[in-house]
Amino acid sequence: MPRVTFKGASYALGGQSVLDCLTARGLTVPNSCRVGVCQSCLMRAVRGTVPDKAQAGLTRSMTARNLFLACQCFPTQDLEVALADDVIVHIEARVTAIERLNDEIRAVRLQPSRPFEYRAGQFVRLFMDPRTSRNYSLASVPSLDNDLMLHVRRVPGGLVSGWIFEHLEAGNVVTISEALGDCFYVPDKPDQDILLLGTGCGLAPLYGIARDALSSGHRGRIHLYHGSRDACGLYLLEELRRFAAKYPNFRYRPCISEAASSDEYWSGTPLDVALKETPDLTGWRVYLCGNPQMVNAARLETFLAGAGSSEIFADPFLPTTTSSAPASNLQ
């Protein structure tokens, strides 16, 4: 039976993932979604071979550094592992502005202290202190924006979002990680249709992806459905309406689930409205971001409507579960 070695001790895996094996023994490994999405459980292979599945969605530079997702790692041979904190790149960034997008969402603009490579729609970890960080998606586009832009929603009682709302201000210097995640525009199929579905600040990566695709001259249809319970939860309406007027292939549908349709809004969830307008998604690329329940439902429904599973990219905004992790941890 393969064994995993961590901090000098060795454990039988017994068919478990590396993450389950280590946390079941009371060892602290940062983690959150446990389904290979949030990348909180990144670890580094020190010796041994990591199965391909454990590196799915990681960038080439991450795989070159032997990083892998502990929750997706079911080794068939012995493996020695370490926490990834010594190889995840940390970068200082100055807060250049904090702007109100609506009552509960702020745009945080950041200027990294050195060149920062990313794709619109990826996410970074923003550190409140060395012990505590959260993931925030990038709404900015490298070729269009000087600053990085995050959209942060205030979660009631939330540690990091509360700190951002109450204490963070222009001029402060914060630490962020390198860009993570695989939810971004790839200009390989300029005629492919693209569906973007999001709720709340799930608009952040979708806004970046849409602007990236439009500015890259994407020719296929780009349909963005952004949802909230009521109109107060929507934001960037005017700008997105301007894009829809400017680009014939761009459709924007602000959706509200607790009111009837009007001249300005579509009634229903973004998923319902999208599938009503486009029931056949064969050949489409789909991006899903925001509320985890919405993302999971949409992943299934868009697949059943014809989108290929390899063409569906999702970032459920899952809460982090390790805010009390020790200083060396990433989340």
Ligand X SMILES: Cc1cc2nc3c(=O)[nH]c(=O)nc-3n(C[C@H](O)[C@H](O)[C@H](O)COP(=O)(O)OP(=O)(O)OC[C@H]3O[C@@H](n4cnc5c(N)ncnc54)[C@H](O)[C@@H]3O)c2cc1C
Contacting positions for ligand X (CB under 6 A): 38, 123, 134-137, 150-153, 155, 157-162, 181, 201, 204, 315, 317-320, 323
For β-strands 222-228 and 148-153, DSSP reports them as unpaired
Helix (H, G, I), strand (E, B) or coil at 206: helix
CB nearer to ligand X: give 225 or 317.
317
Closest separation in Å from C-beta 309 to ligand X: 19
Closest separation in Å from C-beta 323 to ligand X: 6
For β-strands 9-12 and 3-6, DSSP reports them as antiparallel
* Rounded distance between C-alpha atoms, residue 331 and residue 322, angstroms: 6
CB nearer to ligand X: give 136 or 250.
136
Please, what's the b/e burial string for 216-232 (b: 16 or more CB within 10 A of its CB; e: otherwise)? eebebbbbbbbbbeeee
Closest separation in Å from C-beta 105 to ligand X: 7
Q: Which helix (H) or strand (E) holds 163?
A: helix 159-166
* Rounded distance between C-alpha atoms, residue 164 and residue 236, angstroms: 20
Closest separation in Å from C-beta 255 to ligand X: 19
User: Can you read off the two tokens belonging to residue 146?
Assistant: 């000087």
Contacts 24+ apart (CB under 8 A), 243-246: 243/210, 243/211, 243/214
CB nearer to ligand X: give 37 or 79.
37
Which residues does residue 290 pair with via DSSP β-bridges, in sequence order? 316
Shortest-Cβ-distance residue relative to ligand X: 158
* Rounded distance between C-alpha atoms, residue 42 and residue 61, angstroms: 13
CB nearer to ligand X: give 55 or 199.
199
User: CA nearest 252: which of 198, 212, 292, 290?
Assistant: 198
CB nearer to ligand X: give 160 or 281.
160
CB nearer to ligand X: give 201 or 281.
201
Closest separation in Å from C-beta 36 to ligand X: 11
CB nearer to ligand X: give 310 or 324.
324
Radius of gyration from C-alpha coordinates of the chain = 20
Closest separation in Å from C-beta 278 to ligand X: 26
**Single-letter code of the amino acid located at 177:** S
